A and B are shown apart, each in its own frame.
Chain A
Amino acid sequence: MNTGTPPKGRGPLGKSEMLLAYSMILPTLLIVLSIVLLPLLANFWISFKPVQLGDLRAPSVISNERIRPTPEAVGDTAEISYRLRNSSQKGAITGIELSDDFPAGLSLAGELDSRCQLQENSLRCELGEYEPGYRETLKIPVRAEQGYIDQPVNPRDSKPQIAGTADNILTNNKFTLENFRKVFSASEFWTVLRVSLYYTVFGTLGALIFGLFAAQLLSTTFPGRGLLRGFFLFPYVAPVIAVAFAWVLLLDAGPGGTLNAILLKIGAVDGPINFLGQRAVPISFFGMTLEFPVALTTVISFEVWRYFPLSFLFILARMQSMSSETYEAAEIDGASPLQQFWYISLPQLAGILAVLFLLRFIWTFNKFDDIFLLTGGAAGTRTLTVDVYEQAFAVSNLGAGAAVAVVVFIVLLLSALLFFKYSPQDDG
């Protein structure tokens, strides 16, 4: 029997195609690698390091140079002094070398510091090592010559060059678990995690349900439908900075807040509601008192408002690709409109709804701008992402911020894995 077997391996054509492919994809891979994947790893690295925001400026020697007293006649003696200090309170600087122009028209009037050498018009000092926070004053006695009196030179005009090596806080091998210990032991951490989950789950579900509702509205054709579709997308398209501040103004509890003014005028409330600043109000419900989180609900509403257009767009696209025959058949069989929606539309939408849920869940969990701009994380709206910012930049503890970011990443990974395991099969 003669069965042909396909050739194994790659022919010359295949090889050249492979090379071409790699060369085309390489730049993309490199930039994504260096700006996304490396920082991701770097974040893990930083989370194990005791690094403060201020440590980012590498320790350096700061110098202040002056001449006192100012020589006025030939032969006057004076002193050039360099006041030097290590800028950092934490890191030592080693191998410090100072070099500077020696002002013309001045001559040495005594003993030069043993660490320094004067050659022609240039001064070089090898100052060795500075401990953290170390400061000293380097003094050089000088005498004025005729040249200086004729043409006085301010020694400050030439800046000293100071070289030295300092340990880089980001690359040295000091590690600590302190950041994680701090993050997990803080009493508010679990509150923050819970708020994050509430925000994510309700924000995601809200955006999906509103999107589904809006898509139903525009599923049939009528004049002005295209315009309305564009209009419904506005919240998603406009810059977050603009719409967030518009909401802040709309919901403001002080004078000038539009919504509170409306509610007060039509007599719906007795006093202004602080939508963005109030943590919770007690609500009596059949004798039980519940704490209703006001600010958190407001930021969730904003999230739903801003992102329902995205779900709306995808659901609408999916609905327009459904065939009308199924509905006609159902109509003949006597299915009511709600039955048609429940038994025909929804099952067909399940795939896109699942995908949207996953995407929106992840993106809502990642969201920082919205809450940061609306409340700054105050009044019980601090989510993990806002916490990253607070720890790293408000409290200036980069390491702790990175540790929270690690938690963000892990929660995200877990929910993505869970989702992939239990998600319905996507048909669209």
Chain B
Amino acid sequence: MKIGNTFFIGLVVGALWALIYSVVLSVFAMLVTGDVIVPDIGNAMAGGAVGAGFYLLTPVARREELWLPVSAVIAFVVFWLMQKATGVSVVATSVQVLTWVGIFLTSAVSWHLCFHDMRAERQGRYQLEVILIRVMKGFGFVFFTIIVMLPFYVMLMTSLKSQQSLLANPLDLSINIWQDPKTLFRSYIELFTDYRFGLFLLNSAMVSVATVVITLLFSIPGAYAVSRLKFPGQAVLSRSILLIYMVPAIVLVIPLYAVFSQLGLRNTLIGLIVVYPATTIPVAVYMLQGYFRGLPYELEEAGLMDGLSRLGVILKITLPLSLPAIASVSLYIFMIAWNEFLFAFMFLDDPDIFTLSRGVQSLNSSEIPRQHLMAGAVIATVPVLVLFLWFERFLVAGLTAGSVKG
């Protein structure tokens, strides 16, 4: 077999994967078990390079079956020998052994994904770019999964810990799920009993639902008029409606604070229910008008011919046809209202009418243990994530159809 550039690239890539996985899996094992596992990066990279090199030297046809685990074992053995030679031994406890086995198995899977159809010989630009892209993609999957997951993982696990164990070892995010649920969920129980999170949850739900209903009541006729009826100013309106959405909330907050204070609307939920729809209606109109335009006008004309009035057409033809769009707009508006922080923070002083955002913010004090803060964060996050996962298809279609907010 000829040995060419691909083989050397394989060595580098093998070392690289060993580096990535030894850091990632060691940290993961630390977070899950609480044991300290210091990754021996140098030796791991040597093992990875040898394993990947060996894998590349085996014939392409035979890689699927036996040679993948064999090269993983070779990598592990090289790693272990290197450790003996350098005199450091970090493979002692069973957790550590398991971690290192995991590191080289996942490494081997990555070699397979990158090189399963590659030969060790010299190859041209096309093949090298294919390898580069595979490596980048693999790295991307690991990277994005970790950065997306880590904050949520920390949030959830911290909310289930006790103050003492958190301070004793901040890395130990392991949870004994078999313990008494009353101790496991003590932060949540305290939030609902002592900190009135049930009420906040109710307030948030009320404000969000009211915002959705009001937004739809205003935006459906508005979007219909803009997309279907002819009137002077139609073009300007349909183009400028989204511009309204570019106006920063922070510019509105001072005048609204001033005026609402004087009108006595500031420290009320009504105040929020007035402000939220005003900021969401433009987006809703924009999203809905795009959808209405896409509906075949012939259907509506047929309705008009058959003697329906305009309102009849809207109620009996347009609305039933646009239910998916209305669902996605509703969800999106619900999310905006549920997650809104600035106005809730500026307007609400009275704990009786706190929304969840405001309630969680009030937990951010040095006197309140941080697992309470994280439990509050989980309570605020779960409903909206559940809704999102449930209706993801709708939401994704709606978001991209109508181009949207930040």
Contact = CB atoms under 8 A, between A and B. Distances in A.
Interface of A: 14, 17-18, 20-22, 24-25, 27-29, 31-32, 34-40, 42-43, 45-46, 51, 56-58, 168, 170, 213-214, 216-217, 226, 229-235, 237-243, 245-247, 249-250, 255-258, 261-262, 265-267, 305, 307, 310, 313-314, 317, 334, 336-338, 355, 359-360, 362-369, 373, 385, 388-389, 392-393, 398, 401-402, 405-406, 408-409, 412, 416
Contact of A367 (B149, B279, B406): B406
Contacts of B252: 35-36, 39-40, 43
A355 B244 CA distance: 16
Interface string B243-264: 0101111111111111101100
B250 A408 contact: yes
A316 to B, nearest CB: 8
A156 B147 CA distance: 64
27 contacts: A25-B222, A25-B225, A28-B221, A31-B277, A32-B244, A34-B278, A36-B279, A39-B251, A42-B255, A43-B254, A46-B258, A58-B262, A168-B262, A170-B262, A230-B388, A239-B338, A242-B381, A246-B151, A258-B154, A266-B23, A266-B38, A305-B151, A310-B406, A313-B399, A336-B129, A388-B253, A405-B250
A42 B357 contact: no
A35 B396 contact: no
Closest 8 CB pairs between A and B?
A35-B278, A363-B406, A242-B377, A366-B248, A42-B255, A28-B222, A21-B229, A24-B221
Nearest to B379: A242
Interface string B374-405: 10111011001100110010001001100111
B175 to A, nearest CB: 14
B241 to A, nearest CB: 8
Contacts of B133: 337-338
Contacts of A170: 258-259, 262
Given A239-B380, A249-B154, 15 more contacts: A24-B222, A25-B225, A27-B222, A40-B255, A56-B257, A217-B137, A233-B392, A245-B374, A246-B377, A250-B151, A256-B370, A337-B126, A369-B341, A373-B341, A385-B248
Contacts of B231: 17-18, 21-22
Contacts of A337: 126, 129-130, 133
Contact of B246 (A231, A235, A406, A416): A416
B327 to A, nearest CB: 16
Interface of B: 23, 26-27, 30-31, 36, 38-39, 125-126, 129-130, 132-133, 137, 140-141, 144-145, 147-152, 154-155, 158, 166-167, 169-171, 173, 218-219, 221-222, 224-226, 229-232, 234, 237, 244, 246-259, 261-262, 274-275, 277-279, 281-282, 285, 310, 335, 338-339, 341-342, 346, 356-357, 360-361, 364, 370, 373-374, 376-378, 380-381, 384-385, 388-389, 392, 396, 399-400, 403-406
B222 A388 contact: no
A213 B136 CA distance: 9
A406 B173 CA distance: 46
B398 to A, nearest CB: 11
Contacts of A168: 262
A250 B226 contact: no
Contacts of B221: 24-25, 27-28
B129 to A, nearest CB: 5
A388 B137 CA distance: 42
Contacts of A366: 246, 248-250, 406
B406 A307 contact: yes
Nearest to A359: B406
A378 B221 CA distance: 46
Contact of A362 (B246, B261, B380, B399): B246
Given A31-B218, A242-B381, A246-B374, A258 B392 contact: no
Contact of A246 (B152, B167, B226, B281): B152
Contacts of B341: 239-241, 369, 373
B27 to A, nearest CB: 5
Contact of A239 (B158, B310, B384, B403): B384
Summarize A's interface: helix, strand, loop or mixed. helix
Contacts of B377: 239, 241-243, 245-246
Contacts of B403: 314, 355, 359
Contacts of A17: 229-231, 310
B310 A56 contact: no
Contact of B230 (A18, A245, A247): A18
Contacts of B262: 56, 58, 168, 170
A393 B342 CA distance: 13
A349 B341 CA distance: 33
Contacts of A258: 31, 154, 170-171, 173
B255 A249 contact: no
B251 A408 contact: yes
Contact of B381 (A213, A238, A317): A238
Given A42-B255, A249-B374, A368-B342, A232 B144 contact: yes
